[in-house]
Structure 1
């Protein structure tokens, strides 16, 4: 019998970071790392020891080869990834003094958004306890609607997790708002940042947003609040978890790593594979505390570089409530 696993569906993006002082006058030096929200989550799950399969359309270009090497080295199963003829997506990041990234994207006609029904139907999902997706691959045509159909097909046997990861430079927030009711009807877990919340529901508190999304069908909503920790709401019962101590280099992929930590701990407790019927608020609090530690370690290194399981043993935990 195949080992039960988490399947992540979404994009790989070449994250190019500007390097001030790293080039001659008149030139720009870039450091390119493998990124993309879903790919970051898959890599973090693999490094934590969770059996994880990643579904992405991987180009054969230099960036695509970088993605494959990085994900495979992180323990991610890439057997379901089609070979794409289109080029990889590129994102260029300028970091401010606090480590926050200002992104520009080069994504027209790239591989990530071109899913076909045949490609998605070819992947066996019988051993999947949870399907996680989100970000640009879920909202950009033509592939986004096809990923939604995939979620609809697997809901009878797998927990569905979505991270909207709003990217207003590429897709107007109104497009996310239009799709959000459908995502809430499909998802058991919705994890998003407070920046996502401000773009999706401007002026709405996290508590009110959680209640709205519960009514739309989501059982567990987690809103990450940066250095203020996270708010989690399970069917309207809420818990706030502080951030774990961190020496911040940058915040790239912190939310993606948080999602991985959350799913990892829920899976470890045997709580994935359905509609979260056995999950308690204590389980949610424990999963968020663990996820905060994973995110903090990601912030302590440059770029999308999630921690390995052995690094968690020495990492400080968030304070108890």
Structure 2
């Protein structure tokens, strides 16, 4: 594939319908400091808080761009009343536990430190409520994507998430199933034979999933290809400042653009995934993948320049995106900021 340049496509009239499930949401308490010094008092020059989690962040980005979205999540009634700001988008399943907290400390150099509280256990009743809410929302929207985002909480007395049920929900609306979760969850679903349409790890998560070091772009492509051989339709690998690569049964495409000033990496991977699925419906076709990957890189680039986890169309610069066959020998810089994800 020759190197190509794709013009700006953010004004596309294409819209998508998505249901996201975030079983372990959190409140992100964001502190912006001039420099983080452990063992010292650090003065924050800006503080904000918002409800977050992989599926929540993705849903906000999709909604801000005009897509039809339902974000399903468990919340206590007290938290729901205080935290949920868009009642039309959020579909809350009541649970007794208070929401967990993720402290996000952002330095002036753009380095983001997360201190993340462990997820609370959910009961069988809670999980059944989440499955039912996803099903109702998917039927109502005729969802094109069902996205499971973030970690899966431990169960207090039962079996937890039912991937077969979520797959059935996606299939009955002729939709696709995306799993945006840690590598251990992806590996478990693959062992169960669940045909996942899309995952979107960063390099560190991909290493966890394939249990080996990834030092070059060729290593990343090979790791993603092995996952595709095990039944995945596509793997979107976030490479931070080095862009992203998508791997399908017949395609390998690397996309990159000019670097952005990094303010907060939290949620950038969610933005990239959101950008991809607004234009991609699972086709293993060159032009469709190129256009979707171009948007994914643009949205991820826009997200790292913001304190807030939500991008809106006016935040997305008309950056040029270069697409090419992945150069296998290119070293990957693990010390650059990944398009961050949440455990």
Decide: shared fold, TM above 0.5: yes
TM-score grouping bracket, smaller chain normalisation: 0.7 to 0.9
Deviation at 1:4, TM superposition (A): 7.2
Deviation at 1:26, TM superposition (A): 6.6
1:40 and 2:53 are equivalent in the alignment? no
Deviation at 1:7, TM superposition (A): 0.6
Deviation at 1:176, TM superposition (A): 3.8
- In the alignment, the residues of structure 1 paired with residue 16 and residue 295 of structure 2 have an alpha-carbon distance, to the nearest angstrom, of 21
* Aligned position for 1:170: none
* Aligned position for 2:279: 265
1:54 and 2:64 are equivalent in the alignment? no
TM-score (norm 2): 0.74
1:203 and 2:213 are equivalent in the alignment? yes
- In the alignment, the residues of structure 1 paired with residue 159 and residue 150 of structure 2 have an alpha-carbon distance, to the nearest angstrom, of 10
Greater Cα offset, 209-218 or 150-159: 150-159
For 1:4-32, what per-residue CA distance to the aligned partner results, in whole angstroms no more than 9, with x for missing partners?
A: 7211111421112234489xx97976532
Shift in alpha-carbon separation, 1:105–1:243, aligned structure 2, 3 A? same
* Aligned position for 1:169: none
* Aligned position for 1:68: 84
- In the alignment, the residues of structure 1 paired with residue 114 and residue 190 of structure 2 have an alpha-carbon distance, to the nearest angstrom, of 27
Deviation at 1:105, TM superposition (A): 2.0
2:320 to 312, 317, 321: 317
Deviation at 1:319, TM superposition (A): 3.3
Output the aligned Cα RMSD: 3.1
1:130 and 2:133 are equivalent in the alignment? no
2:293 to 288, 291, 316: 288
Shift in alpha-carbon separation, 1:136–1:21, aligned structure 2, 3 A? same
- In the alignment, the residues of structure 2 paired with residue 7 and residue 219 of structure 1 have an alpha-carbon distance, to the nearest angstrom, of 19
1:102 to 90, 98, 113: 113
Shift in alpha-carbon separation, 1:244–1:100, aligned structure 2, 3 A? same
1:83 and 2:94 are equivalent in the alignment? yes
- In the alignment, the residues of structure 2 paired with residue 184 and residue 94 of structure 1 have an alpha-carbon distance, to the nearest angstrom, of 39
Unaligned runs of 5+ in 1: 167-172
- In the alignment, the residues of structure 1 paired with residue 159 and residue 269 of structure 2 have an alpha-carbon distance, to the nearest angstrom, of 21
Greater Cα offset, 40-49 or 146-155: 146-155
Shift in alpha-carbon separation, 1:300–1:56, aligned structure 2, 3 A? same
1:12 and 2:25 are equivalent in the alignment? yes
Native 8 Å contact 1:258 1:294 kept in 2:
yes
For 1:45-87, what per-residue CA distance to the aligned partner results, in whole angstroms no more than 9, with x for missing partners?
A: 101111011111122335x445410x44xxx622x32223210
Deviation at 1:228, TM superposition (A): 0.4
- In the alignment, the residues of structure 2 paired with residue 109 and residue 252 of structure 1 have an alpha-carbon distance, to the nearest angstrom, of 21
Unaligned runs of 5+ in 2: 1-14, 325-343
